[in-house]
Structure 1
């Protein structure tokens, strides 16, 4: 590969500084590659070690160059980003893939397919002229969050989780619902977990995933396929139905309350400390209150601390929280906050969490016709 002014002799020939983050850009657009390169090269701790214009070229580059984070366009000539993704993930080993995606419905379908396959996160690709300072901050923040844990600027030392000693649903009435919160890397983890649940798993499943509003209907379809059970986007007054999935909308927080003795969802729009919309905290807090703590919560891979405050209320009410472990998390932020606060009953990989959840959820208390859950 030809060198550039910043790195004479080519990207791959630079002496490796292990404190720096190695980025690969895969995009067939010269404009996109140029702008993304300019943003990345402005950072003192990040290098561009390779570029590619097709999926086939990305695979070739990865066979000869080690990387930490891959910026991947999905719509390219040849096999495209989706076609190349399984091989990219295999060759990249511990590297994380950040999908640079469009806002269109077609783009949402492809992006969520990539996330379900193992891509860690997504970033909307702005139109020409919209690569502003805010976009640059978001991009760099995602790159640093996805970089390996050995990079000093991305993480602090991992301490051993303190497992919860609070009240467990083992000593309570049978649980009425399962709540799952996730962000970066969470869709892949969630698909693994949902697929591992037994087909007769009968608890209603409530999902909060940090994504733009235009992606949520597509996410519901993806989860329905992964779980082999119905899934839809929650609205005002959506009943919690055993065995079915409700996904929080992207423009509000999913909350749970009681109407005529049954559990239903509501949509709230208040500000939360994490700044996330939707946020996991309101779901856990209101579900704990509506069920008297007879519920199960799961916090999967994600950046930040969303879910930690809600988990505290959840456990205090008698609910049980499981957290994804560091080894299988794309970003061990959300589950880490819960684990280090001593709120998790167990810290496990997604499939192991599914087995523990299934063991707790023997059979929920339902209405006679099994259509809606009554508290």
Structure 2
């Protein structure tokens, strides 16, 4: 379902998605009220939801959509402004699976092409996961009939897609709340103990001196959960966070994490000394690394090329942290599409440090945690609600 008050955006989005194999456009609406009234009838797996619309805006519609269609995936489309970023973070707190930053309107073809690629990847991967979960619970998800579809706004002929039949295997996805979209490799690894996964590592015997976290799709709320549930031990170490997000969004994310964790939190600055009890968030558009300066560890911001098509990326941060802290590194990889974090987690594990990942069931997408499991780099796999408790044990020296 595509919901946007702009006829141009509705048409473009419907055409982009309708041209993709395995994706069907079951409804197109110009405001949130029409979407809410129709969602239980058209039964979409995914809704692309604009924020600013007449009659009923996206934030008002979001919880109503989720209430009337349990298991629905909502992808919110917003702008790169501070207001857009604030609204996007509120939407994530209300249950949106992901927020996309719209192209800046400057007419840059690359920006629109990247946005399109990101949108398609998210719809395919999140939609496939939603259909799989729904089929496990109540059988295959029904599809709105063509007769019903004809009673609503109908996509143009070139935008009208084939209605979904068999569930498509998820295609590569781009992780994170991003201004640019990029194809990332899909990870098919399962948790240790199942086919294709490697055995768990032992936890480090060295007390952690840094906590480094990486996440993407679904990450903002996962980070809030983990840091708020481990706030009583965060004063022991500096906390470094890489979340796939564009500029403006990361500054607001840092503020949100600080409120949740009860410690100072901000985007990292070049050359600042890392101290315990403070959260350092990688700024959108730049990699965050750490290095030594005399007897201190300092932050370095890098404009090096994207990794896994992302900047900031988790891998370069993990590699630098492993080099500086070695066996005293405690890494965490949370929900996210793609494989970012897998190679960096292996660097941490090979240096003697410990890596904990979110389990598949509680992840919005198990791409990034799955990549760590496939690399044989993790010491523990936990539901999101248990990760904070494990971090408390490890940071207190009692969880090995």
* CA offsets 1:215-269 (integer angstroms, 9 cap, x no match): 2211111222222322100011222222221100112211111223122211122
Alignment of 1:31-42 (within 5 A): 31-42=8-19
2:290–2:298 contact (8 Å) kept in structure 1: yes
Which of the residues 213, 223, 243 maps onto 1:190? Answer: 223
Which of the residues 246, 257, 265 maps onto 1:212? Answer: 246
Could you say which residue in structure 1 is the equivalent of 2:214?
181
- C-alpha displacement of 1:159: 3.1
Which of the residues 95, 100, 105 maps onto 2:82? Answer: 105
* CA offsets 1:331-371 (integer angstroms, 9 cap, x no match): 111111111222111222222111101110117xxxxxxxx
Aligned equivalents of 1:134, 1:256: Cα separation in 2: 30
Which of the residues 324, 334, 339 maps onto 1:305? Answer: 339
5+ long unaligned stretches in structure 2: 133-166, 172-186
Kindly indicate whether residue 327 of structure 2 is the aligned counterpart of residue 347 of structure 1: no
- C-alpha displacement of 1:81: 1.4
1:72–1:100 contact (8 Å) kept in structure 2: yes
Aligned equivalents of 1:90, 1:316: Cα separation in 2: 46
- C-alpha displacement of 1:157: 5.8
Kindly indicate whether residue 347 of structure 2 is the aligned counterpart of residue 338 of structure 1: no
Which of the residues 18, 26, 38 maps onto 1:61? Answer: 38
Report SS of the residue matched to 2:344.
Answer: helix
Aligned equivalents of 1:206, 1:117: Cα separation in 2: 25
Question: How many aligned positions are there?
Answer: 338
Kindly indicate whether residue 70 of structure 2 is the aligned counterpart of residue 93 of structure 1: yes
Which of the residues 218, 230, 237 maps onto 2:264? Answer: 230
Which of the residues 326, 339, 349 maps onto 1:292? Answer: 326
Alignment of 1:141-156 (within 5 A): 141-149=121-129, 150=132, 151-154=167-170
Which of the residues 278, 285, 309 maps onto 1:275? Answer: 309
- C-alpha displacement of 1:113: 2.0
Aligned equivalents of 1:133, 1:163: Cα separation in 2: 37
Could you say which residue in structure 2 is the equivalent of 1:327?
361
Residues 96 and 322 (structure 1), Cα distance of their counterparts in 2 relative to 1, 3 Å cut: same
Residues 41 and 335 (structure 1), Cα distance of their counterparts in 2 relative to 1, 3 Å cut: same
Query: Mean Cα displacement is larger for which, 298-307 or 343-352?
Result: 343-352
1:163–1:344 contact (8 Å) kept in structure 2: no
1:324–1:348 contact (8 Å) kept in structure 2: yes
Report SS of the residue matched to 2:128.
Answer: coil
Residues 250 and 133 (structure 1), Cα distance of their counterparts in 2 relative to 1, 3 Å cut: closer
Could you say which residue in structure 1 is the equivalent of 2:139?
none
Aligned equivalents of 2:384, 2:24: Cα separation in 1: 32
Query: Mean Cα displacement is larger for which, 248-257 or 199-208?
Result: 199-208
- The TM-score, its normalising length taken from structure 1, stands at 0.83
Aligned equivalents of 1:282, 1:339: Cα separation in 2: 18
Alignment of 1:246-257 (within 5 A): 246-257=280-291
Report SS of the residue matched to 2:25.
Answer: strand
Could you say which residue in structure 1 is the equivalent of 2:162?
none
Aligned equivalents of 1:80, 1:54: Cα separation in 2: 7
Residues 298 and 200 (structure 1), Cα distance of their counterparts in 2 relative to 1, 3 Å cut: closer
Report SS of the residue matched to 2:240.
Answer: strand
- C-alpha displacement of 1:193: 1.5
Q: 4+ residue stretches of structure 1 with deviation over 4 A?
A: 128-134, 155-158, 162-165
Report SS of the residue matched to 1:229.
Answer: coil
Query: Mean Cα displacement is larger for which, 26-35 or 316-325?
Result: 26-35
5+ long unaligned stretches in structure 1: 1-23, 364-375
RMSD of aligned Cα (Å): 2.2
* CA offsets 1:133-168 (integer angstroms, 9 cap, x no match): 444333212211212334333068663424654342
Residues 78 and 220 (structure 1), Cα distance of their counterparts in 2 relative to 1, 3 Å cut: farther
Query: Mean Cα displacement is larger for which, 333-342 or 57-66?
Result: 57-66
